[in-house]
Structure 1
Amino acid sequence: MTEDPASIVRTAFRHYRAQDRAAALALYADDFSFTSPQDDHIDRASFFERCFPTAHRFAEQRLLHVVPVDDELVFVHYEYELTTGGRYRNMEAVTVREGRIREVRVFFGGEV
């Protein structure tokens, strides 16, 4: 039985914080796409090269809300504190299909 999309998203965040690349890779589809204000539809390889290895920048990251919107879409609201100081909040729209993350769209929030 496949995990529900919200559980898959929570697991992906745990693997990111732990920097467990091998475990995380298994959660992302081959045709994965990542978009943020700094990245325009980058593919899986680029995401794991540029974005995944950034967890060291965070002193803390907390998932505030993980909300299933429908059978595939999950909204994630999280807060993080940088090691250099400053606390921020972002939102992500994550599409999970057939047990794998297909797309992430990040919306940057502001400092809290």
Structure 2
Amino acid sequence: MSQQPNADVVRKCLESYIAQDRAAAEKLIAESFVFTSPQDDRIDRAAFFERCFPTADRLRWQEIRTVVPAGGDGVFIMYEYELKTGERHCNVELSTVRDGQLVETQVFFGGRLPKS
């Protein structure tokens, strides 16, 4: 895989989720990938693709707000989204990228945002 800046890898991975482009996501997510969120405790790549990846259909929209390096191999990404229920949220993720692929993602759920 050609090397691209870690922030680009993280951005492209989230974009593949939004588009539900699993083939693109599989290229960006390492076989050793580990995913953690308030609902998932260090699940592996297979569990991530089974449980988490297919959930984009619950969204009305999602927009990336910020993607910044976090030192070393880390990247912070902040995004806002609205569920089909009308609830809006803002989350932050810390991802680790090595050799052009995500090896770990930790999701930090934010609270509800006011409706626009």
For the superposition of Structure 1 and Structure 2, which TM-score range results when normalised by the shorter chain?
over 0.9
Equivalent in the alignment of 2:94: 93
If the length of structure 1 is used for normalisation, what is the TM-score?
0.97
SS at match of 2:25: helix
Runs of 4 or more, structure 1, over 2 Å off, are none
Equivalent in the alignment of 1:54: 55
SS at match of 2:109: strand
Give 1:1-112 correspondences, 5 Å limit: 1-112=2-113
* Cα distance in 2 between the residues matched to 1:69 and 1:37: 21
Structure 1 gaps of 5+ residues are: none
Structure 2 gaps of 5+ residues are: none
* Cα distance in 2 between the residues matched to 1:61 and 1:94: 18
Give the C-alpha shift of residue 70 in structure 1.
2.0
Contact 1:5–1:71 under 8 Å retained in 2: no
Paired-residue identity, %: 54
Pairwise CA RMSD: 0.8
Give the C-alpha shift of residue 71 in structure 1.
3.6
* Cα distance in 1 between the residues matched to 2:95 and 2:19: 20
SS at match of 1:49: helix
Aligned residues between the structures: 112
- Deviation readout 1:60-89 (Å, 9 max, x if unpaired): 111111011124100011100001111101
